[in-house]
Structure 1
């Protein structure tokens, strides 16, 4: 039975009873997600459980077969024009080609595209918001550098700045720590937390690492075979019994002194083996 957390907070984006398929195969089956201002919602689950497809469905990159996606004013997100939707919801996907020959400032400025007219006019707040986004994300000192000169972690911060410049209030992230070394993973997760806490952004993020999800998220949605298995706080959702059944491998859960959860996948050769699940 799914665990449901009852938090009566207004939501900026709600996907309800969403189903989605690829090539006739159902990948998401009646799943729901609710993103609220100032909170981080993490989507976790095994490979193929539908995490990224659910995120892509509410981001309109994948057309759901059934269900609804609504914004805080009740409007149908699936029916909005592309520019209007981009003024309400930002997506940072896994696959982003790095543009060559352009500066960090130029890339962050791409976030203002939904507000510009045909000839780049009509965005009086654009320059200010670009500068603000670069300052918040710590990339202002590299504003004139070419993005093709940056490390992976620096580039990820630039993409975060681009999203923040878009000024939507909803940020969707598909595995933002993927392919980053440990230092940059920590920096990215700190930035995600800061955007929610200090800038009232409603964040939805797909994460593979269970400990990262437990550390950063206010709300966790666990998916298995396309359906929501459990939804609530990390302590409600990430129990040894629930994770073991969903990932189909023994998983131990420990609560540390500061209340943070730590998980261990138990292999055949060592009960202390730490496996990225």
Structure 2
């Protein structure tokens, strides 16, 4: 079953065509990585799925057949959550307060957290391993801690589908893998559907069940990494001359750029 189906989606920014008749599907209880060169439309696709951007044509439907454009914004926020590339942290907010913002779609007309809301906030912080940071100011956290706090906010929203737009940007290597382990765990242990934009192709292959490859404002290919991550794809989509081998640790495809011939340098006299 597919969590999200996209058919003939076209998006423009003023006169600029960003997505051109995009059709693809995101499987339920899978981690899907969106990959493609810079500016190809990956982030725009996420924002359109989340309802932040309105498409000029085409449709997005959920597993039950509902068109996202026909769902009330608050109801859609109970089904799809998104962590943008560069979220802005409100001044003076603690970690617990930030995570509680994820409960906004569920609040009563007074804007008060119920006991159920508080339980979701506590559970989300535990899943993101930041319970001990609850009373810390978000602005005082390290990059990795801050990103986990934002992830916890998304988890508190308790949606069936989670969209992550380049969540590993600005994180060091260990924190990148730590965050992707959390994303993988959300699928394996909690039955979530996760769609993530990644620039590191080897990480995408290691963690994703499915790749959706965006190229020239449309879908180049989609499928399992072993099926679609090929040397031809790397050449055509990324202009990258690379070998595809098996990662010795994860047994997933891995790109190894071929050595480029060095231009001889003149001998200084």
Q: TM-score range by the shorter chain?
A: over 0.9
Find the aligned partners of 2:228 and 2:47 in 1 and give their Cα distance: 23
Q: Structure 1 residue 267: deviation in Å?
A: 5.5
The partner residue of 1:196 within 160, 165, 187 is 187
Aligned partners of 2:135, 2:24: CA distance in 1, in Å? Answer: 39
Instruction: Report matched runs for 1:234-253 at 5 Å.
Output: 234-253=225-244
Q: Which moved more, 1:80-89 or 1:107-116?
A: 80-89
**Does 1:206 find its partner at 2:190?**
no
Alignment partner, residue 223 of structure 1: 214
3-state DSSP of counterpart to 1:141: helix
Partner of 2:256: 264
User: Are the aligned partners of 2:32 and 2:194 in contact in 1 as well (CA < 8 Å)?
Assistant: yes
After TM superposition, the runs of 4+ consecutive aligned structure 1 residues lying more than 6 A away are: none
The answer on whether the counterparts of 2:32 and 2:196 sit within 8 Å (CA) in structure 1 is: yes
Task: Determine if contact 2:29/2:193 at 8 Å carries over to the other structure.
Answer: yes
1:39-54 matches, cutoff 5 A: 39-54=30-45
Between 1:29-38 and 1:189-198, the stretch displaced more is 29-38
The number of equivalent residue pairs is 261
- C-alpha displacement of 1:229: 0.9
Distance in 1 (CA, whole Å) between partners of 2:106 and 2:57 is 30
Matched residue, 1:7:
none
Asked if residue 233 in structure 1 is aligned to residue 224 in structure 2, the reply is: yes
CA contact (8 A) 1:115 1:123 kept: no
Whether contact under 8 Å (1:105, 1:143) holds in the other structure is: yes
Q: TM-score, normalised by structure 1?
A: 0.90
Structure 1 window deviating more from structure 2 (230-239 vs 252-261): it is 252-261
- In structure 1, the gaps of 5 or more residues are 1-9, 271-277
| RMSD (CA atoms) | 1.5
Return the match for 2:4 from 3, 13, 23.
Answer: 13
2:24/2:219 contact within 8 Å kept: no
Query: Shift of the alpha carbon at 1:65?
Result: 1.4
Structure number with bigger Rg: 2
- Is the aligned partner of 1:91 residue 2:72? no
Of 22, 26, 30, the match for 1:31? 22
Q: How does the TM-score come out when normalised to structure 2? A: 0.92
Q: How does 1:57-72 map to 2 (within 5 A)?
A: 57-72=48-63
Question: What is the CA deviation profile of residues 93-149 of structure 1, one whole-angstrom value per residue up to 9, with x for unaligned ones?
Answer: 012112221211111000000000221247441011111111111010111111111
Q: Deviation per CA, 1:199-244: give whole Å up to 9, x if none.
A: 1110111111100100110000111101111110001111001221
Gap runs ≥5 in structure 2: 263-269
Q: Secondary structure at the match of 1:235?
A: helix
Distance 1:50 1:178 in 2: 17
